[in-house]
Amino acid sequence: MIVLGIETSCDDTAVALVDGERSILANLVLAQLAEHRPYGGVVPEIAARSHLDHLDSLIARAMAEAGLDFADVDGIAATAGPGLIGGVFVGVMTGKAIAAARRLPFLAINHLEGHALTVRLTGDVAFPYLLLLVSGGHCQLVAVEGVGRYHRLGTTIDDAVGECFDKAAKMMGLAYPGGPALEAAARGGDAARFDLPRPMMGRETLDFSFSGLKTAVRHRIAELGVEPLTAESPAVRDLAASFQAAVADVLADRCTRALALFQARWGRPGPLVVAGGVAANQTLRARLATVAAACGTELVAPPPALCTDNGAMIAWAGIERLRLGLTDPLDFAARPRWPLDQVHGQAPA
């Protein structure tokens, strides 16, 4: 079984071909960094136009690289939300057009489901498991019971963690996108130099909050009184390291609590899975591995290149859904918002 995956929900145009044996036959990502960099963030209209300009040729390249013809493909999967709607339209319309022309099943994939199932592409992870989904737009703890069977246990009440990385990085004078730049700046920095808040730590619920941390970073920068800050400033290295330590503490606390709840409700440990762009961060991965071990389980994370947005995760979610007959009609509407627990899925075992 081979599925073509299309991802256009943010600023990466991504296409992949994946088979049912977990082989990634092609996986191409065209980042639009240069187009958005002058604005310090993603401009939705520019993103949508860029997807439109590049998607067809990227699909042709992926097919050529995999040595495949559409006659070899069993389904077309495209991110149908949540995301920047202009870009989502481009991917969905392209996917539907190919599906209609080649009479192939169409699979409307929830972007978050793509992140949630990636560990089953890169390894042999059985349901159920606890998922920490950390990306530019989301920060959630989810119990993953099966394909399309997701229970959100906690979420951010304000900013997503990736968004907080990006905004903190911008304030520190680091290049866009902020997450990887902040991680690089933090290397060798003194994480104990700045005292930053750890929002929600110790709380009963499994929610997150990051806006207070962002504000605290702004205040520390103002107190420093040095402008402009650059990646080379020792203060930036220390502030980046302090920021990362605060985020690590919060995620560790929330995951420890969530693992206990998960084990109480689902009766077995199951691995702790982390996914989404922020899961590429090595400091956070190391910390979460420690948390999982302390709770008698292990951390499973996709390789960094499959943590950030990619087509392989969409193709794989397509494989999982196609196997269960969970295909979608060609009038499926693209959605800017689409909570993970509203995805239709397999019946309970």
* Interaction site with Zn ion (CB under 5 A): 135, 309
Binding of ligand KG4 by 165 (CB under 6 A):
yes
**Radius of gyration, alpha carbons of the chain:** 20
Asked if 236 and 182 touch (Cβ cutoff 8 Å), the reply is: no
| 311 near ligand KG4, judged by CB under 6 A | no
177 forms part of the interface with ligand KG4 (CB under 6 A): yes
Our CB check for ligand KG4 shows the closer of 94 and 281 to be 281
């304000």: which residue's tokens? 158
Contact track, ligand KG4, 10-29, x by CB under 6 A: x-------------------
Contact 269, 298 (CB under 8 A): no
* Interaction of residue 95 with ligand KG4, rule CB under 6 A: no
The CB-of-115 to ligand KG4 minimum distance in angstroms stands at 6
Site for ligand KG4 in 112-141 (CB under 6 A): 135-137
Nearest to 72 by CA among 119, 18, 144: 18
Q: Spell out the residues 6+ positions from residue 321 whose beta carbon is closer than 8 angstroms to its own.
A: 77, 107, 109, 147, 148, 327
- In whole angstroms, the minimum distance from the beta carbon of 184 to ligand KG4 comes to 8
Say how far apart CA 297 and CA 99 lie, in whole Å: 41
Q: According to the binding rule CB under 6 A, does residue 82 interact with ligand KG4?
A: no
Residue 166 near which of Zn ion, ligand KG4, none (CB within 5-8 Å, type-dependent): ligand KG4
With H, G, I as helix, E, B as strand and everything else as coil, classify residue 204. coil
Which of Zn ion, ligand KG4, none sits in contact with 271, Cβ below 5 to 8 A by type?
A: none
Distance CA 192, CA 316 (A): 41
Residue 81 · residue 337 · CB < 8 Å:
yes
The C-alpha atoms of residue 253 and residue 30 are separated, in whole angstroms, by: 36
- Residue 177: is the preceding peptide bond cis (ω within 30°)? yes
Q: Kindly state the smallest distance separating residue 14's Cβ from Zn ion, in Å.
A: 10
Contact 315, 4 (CB under 8 A): yes
- Lookup result for tokens 């019946």: 347
From the list 110, 8, 96, 4, the residue with the least C-alpha distance to 49 is 8
Please choose which of ligand KG4, Zn ion, none residue 148 contacts, taking the beta carbon within 5 to 8 angstroms, the exact cut-off set by kind.
Answer: none
278 touches which of ligand KG4, Zn ion, none (CB within 5 to 8 A by kind)? Answer: ligand KG4
> Binding of ligand KG4 at residue 320 (CB under 6 A)?
no
Query: Of 280, 282, 260, which Cα lies nearest the Cα of 270?
Result: 260
Residue 73 contact among ligand KG4, Zn ion, none, beta carbon within 5 to 8 Å by kind: none
Shortest Å distance, C-beta 70 to ligand KG4: 28
Identify which of residues 207 and 309 has a Cβ nearer to ligand KG4 in the complex: 309
- Determine the longest span between alpha carbons in the chain, in angstroms: 63
Within 254-293, the residues that bind ligand KG4 by CB under 6 A are: 276-278, 280-281
Q: Is 159 in the site for ligand KG4 (CB under 6 A)?
A: no
Cβ-based nearer residue to ligand KG4, 113 or 183: 183
Nearer to Zn ion, 166 or 309 (CB): 309
According to the binding rule CB under 6 A, does residue 162 interact with ligand KG4?
A: yes
- Nearer to Zn ion (CB atom), residue 165 or residue 194: 165
242 near ligand KG4 (CB under 6 A): no
CB nearer to Zn ion: give 27 or 135.
Answer: 135
**Ordered DSSP codes for 238-288:** HHHHHHHHHHHHHHHHHHHHHHHHHHHHHSS---EEEESGGGG-HHHHHHH
Cα–Cα distance, 280 to 329 (Å, whole number): 34
Residue 179: name its binding partner from Zn ion, ligand KG4, none (Cβ under 5 to 8 Å by kind).
Answer: ligand KG4
Q: Does residue 178 interact with ligand KG4 by CB under 6 A? A: yes
Residues found near ligand KG4 in the complex (CB under 6 A): 10, 135-137, 162-163, 165-166, 177-180, 183, 276-278, 280-281, 308-309
